[in-house]
Structures are given as C-alpha cells and as structure tokens.
C-alpha cells in the first residue's frame, strides 16, 4: 500500500512538472515575441492550451511566470555557447566561436522572437525591476564568460598584455546585438554576417606578436 501511494505521488509530481515545463516553454516564446506587458492572459491561455486557473495552479502570478520563462530562454542561449566552445582551443578560437554561435543562429533567434536578453532588457526597463535584475544578471554572465576567456589569453601570452578584457566584452556584445537588431528590422542577415567578419578581424588584432 505504501509503495502504491508513493508511486501515485511520484506520477502526480511528474505530471505537474511536465505541465509546469510546458507552460514555461510556451510562455517564454510568447513573452519574447509580445513583451511582458504585451502578452495577455488570453494569449497565454491559447499558447499553453490551459485555462487561467490551470496556469495559476503552477505560478502565483504573471510576474513569477515571466521570470521563469526568461530563465528558460537564457538557458537555451547558454547551451548554444556551451556547444560552440566544445573542443575549441585558445582564447581567439573561443571568442570567435561565441561570435559565430550568435551570428549563425539568426534564423533560430528570429523564430523565437529575437534575443531574449535584449528584448527583456528593453521591455522590462523600470516597470518590472525583478525581470530587469534577471536580465542584468544574464548580461553579467555573458560578459563574464568573454572576460574570462580574454583574461586567460592575456595570461598565456596569446593576446597582447594591453588588451582590456571588459572592453572586449562590451565591443563583442554591443556589435552582435546591434547587428541582430538591424538584421531583424530589415529581414536581412547580411548585417550579422558583417558583424561576424568585423569581430573576427578585431579578435585577430588582439593576438600577441609571435
């Protein structure tokens, strides 16, 4: 009897977790496409296939769902970085892999509604401090990744000692995000291809003389 109760509880929890995951996945894309304020409860219900009560069985508020959805979107982006860096050697190769992972994912990013980090940073502004703080943390993590790779290159002598790791992070992220905005606006990935070429030349310029 105890085994049956435990099994029933486990099945119930598994179903609840799957439903919660389904809500987050569908809401993540909707929030990214429509914005936090722009995504209505009716649209959330349509996207998830659940009634309002079904959604609020898993989230106490729209704010809580928005944060969970943003975290989900950022995890997807982080996995892209992990895949891009796998097997790469040296700081230059790793930095260029990050550039390529972003620039070459234009179609996938566009289908998702754009870069969730940029969209959330703009959408949250001062109206949603918790979501804004989440976006800042995600940006900090991206900047830290680039800084860490750059600093290692300086330490090993691959990159010139005068390289400013924080400036490298700013230049890479600002160039990629700006190019994505242009590419989405015009429906033309040429802007991202140009950014990729420019950043690869920039990264090559950081090499220490042999």
Per DSSP, the residues of 57-97 read TT-SSHHHHHHHHHHHHHHHHHHHHHHHHTT--SHHHHHHH
- Residue 207 β-bridge partners: 159
Q: pLDDT digit string (tens) for 138-196?
A: 999 999 999 999 999 999 999 999 999 999 999 999 999 999 999 999 999 999 999 99
Provide the 10 A C-beta neighbour count for residue 101: 17
Compute the distance between CA of residue 9 and CA of residue 6 in angstroms, rounded to an integer: 5
Q: pLDDT digit string (tens) for 28-70?
A: 999 998 888 888 999 999 999 999 999 999 999 888 999 999 9
What distances in angstroms separate CA 21 from CA 15, 17, 64, 78, one per listed residue? 10, 6, 13, 18
The DSSP element (H or E) to which 160 belongs, if any, is none
Compute the distance between CA of residue 127 and CA of residue 66 in angstroms, rounded to an integer: 13
CATH architecture of 2-205: Orthogonal Bundle (1.10)
Domain coordinates in residue numbering, the chain: 2-205
Q: pLDDT digit string (tens) for 144-154?
A: 999 999 999 99
Q: pLDDT digit string (tens) for 88-117?
A: 999 999 999 999 999 999 998 888 888 999
Compute the distance between CA of residue 137 and CA of residue 139 in angstroms, rounded to an integer: 5
Residue 162, helix vs strand vs coil: coil
């Amino acid at each position: 009897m105890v085994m049956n109760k435990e099994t029933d509880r486990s099945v119930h929890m598994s179903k609840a977790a799957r439903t919660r995951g389904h809500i987050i996945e569908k809401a993540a894309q909707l929030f990214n496409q429509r914005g936090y304020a722009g995504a209505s409860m009716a649209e959330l219900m349509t996207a998830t296939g659940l009634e309002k009560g079904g959604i609020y069985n898993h989230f106490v508020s729209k704010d809580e769902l928005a944060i969970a959805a943003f975290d989900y979107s950022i995890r997807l982006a982080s996995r892209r970085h992990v895949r891009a860096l796998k097997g790469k050697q040296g700081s230059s190769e790793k930095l260029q892999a990050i550039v390529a992972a972003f620039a070459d994912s234009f179609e996938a990013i566009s289908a998702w509604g754009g870069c969730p980090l940029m969209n959330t940073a703009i959408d949250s502004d001062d109206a949603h401090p918790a979501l804004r703080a989440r976006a800042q943390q995600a940006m900090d993590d991206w900047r830290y990744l680039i800084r860490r790779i750059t600093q290692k290159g300086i330490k090993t002598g691959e990159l010139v000692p005068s390289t400013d790791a924080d400036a490298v992070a700013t230049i890479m992220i600002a160039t990629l995000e700006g190019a994505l905005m242009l590419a989405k606006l015009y429906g033309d990935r040429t802007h991202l291809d140009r950014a990729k070429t420019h950043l690869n030349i920039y990264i090559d310029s950081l090499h220490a003389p042999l």
